[in-house]
């Protein structure tokens, strides 16, 4: 298996790690890619980015009222 961040993963495909990555583990090691996109175009003065671990994505919410979402124009 492969060890990442102190956790042992089995050989083969790992659909989702605790940190929201999809990985493949083999004898050569482990290769991973993120399951989330980072928001880059939003109103940075009024809004903030919060990572949602349950959904493996970022929520962009209003700074003064985090219960309200902001419009995101682009994600990378």
18 pLDDT tier (thresholds 50, 70, 90): confident
CATH topology of domain 39-75: N-terminal domain of TfIIb (2.20.25)
What burial letters (b/e) apply to 47-74, b meaning 16+ CB within 10 Å?
Answer: beeeeeeeebebbbbeeeeeeeebebee
48 — alpha (psi -120 to 50), left (phi > 0) or beta?
A: beta
Predicted confidence at residue 75, as pLDDT, reads 73
At 76, is the pLDDT very low, low, confident or very high (cuts 50, 70, 90)? low
Intervals of CATH 2.20.25.590 along the chain: 39-75
* Cβ-defined contacts of 15-23 (< 8 Å, 24+): 16/56, 20/53, 20/56
Give the mean model confidence (pLDDT) for residues 45-68.
95
Write the pLDDT tens digit of every residue in 24-53: 999 999 999 999 988 999 999 999 999 998
Sequence-distant (≥ 6) Cβ neighbours of residue 10 within 8 angstroms? 1, 25
pTM here is 0.71
């Amino acid at each position: 298996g492969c060890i990442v961040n102190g956790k042992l993963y089995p050989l083969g495909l790992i659909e989702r790690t605790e940190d929201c990555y999809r990985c493949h583990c083999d004898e050569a090691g482990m290769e991973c890619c993120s399951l989330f996109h980072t928001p880059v175009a939003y109103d940075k003065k009024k809004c903030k980015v919060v990572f949602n671990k349950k959904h493996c994505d970022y929520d962009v919410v209003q700074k003064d009222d985090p219960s309200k979402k902001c419009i995101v124009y682009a994600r990378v």
